[in-house]
Amino acid sequence: MASSDTLFGRILSGEIPCQEVYADDLSLAFRDVNPQAPVHVLVIPREPIAQLGEATAEHQALLGHLLLVAAKVARLEGLESWRTVINSGAGAGQTVFHLHLHVIGGRPLAWPPG
Ligand code: 5GP
């Protein structure tokens, strides 16, 4: 489990400001400070799970909820095509160890991503 003193834990507590896009009892969505596309939003659970690789069966409903929030964010942002990415582990590029889904769109997105 992640501790609540990660960067995103401090955003959740209000200690660090963010540009909120959506919030509910289980999650928060806010704009990435270093956007990789015209729309780049991060969706995080309020529960501090460090990375997807540490999620367990007890997180099943929460993980499904986060995917639905990602789709809601895409709709709110007016995106028809978009991508969601989860980096799990430092070797995959994860830098903040509080689970987060990237929602990226607003420009053509190549596949494979490179
Ligand atoms: P990761 O590399 O862990 O998958 O993604 C972490 C993301 O957090 C990066 O895209 C990075 O730009 C973003 N980020 C880092 N610090 C801050 C911050 O203080 N505020 C916001 N809104 N995003 C941040």
Question: What domains, with CATH codes, occur in the chain?
Answer: 7-105 (3.30.428.10)
Q: Is the pLDDT of residue 114 over 90?
A: no
Per DSSP, the residues of 51-113 read -GGG--GGGHHHHHHHHHHHHHHHHHTT-SSEEEE---SGGGT--SSS--EEEEESS---SS-
Give the distance (Å) from ligand 1 centre to CA of residue 46: 16
Closest ligand 1 atom number to CA of residue 97: 3
Question: Which of 1-10, 17-26, 71-80 has the weakest average pLDDT?
Answer: 1-10
Give the distance (Å) from ligand 1 centre to CA of residue 33: 6
Q: Say yes or no: CB of residue 10 within 6 Å of ligand 1.
A: no
The predicted-structure confidence for 70-92, as pLDDT tens digits, reads as follows 999 999 999 999 999 999 999 99
The predicted-structure confidence for 89-109, as pLDDT tens digits, reads as follows 999 999 999 999 999 999 999
The predicted-structure confidence for 36-69, as pLDDT tens digits, reads as follows 999 999 999 999 999 999 999 999 999 999 999 9
Block residue for tokens 């995103």? 8
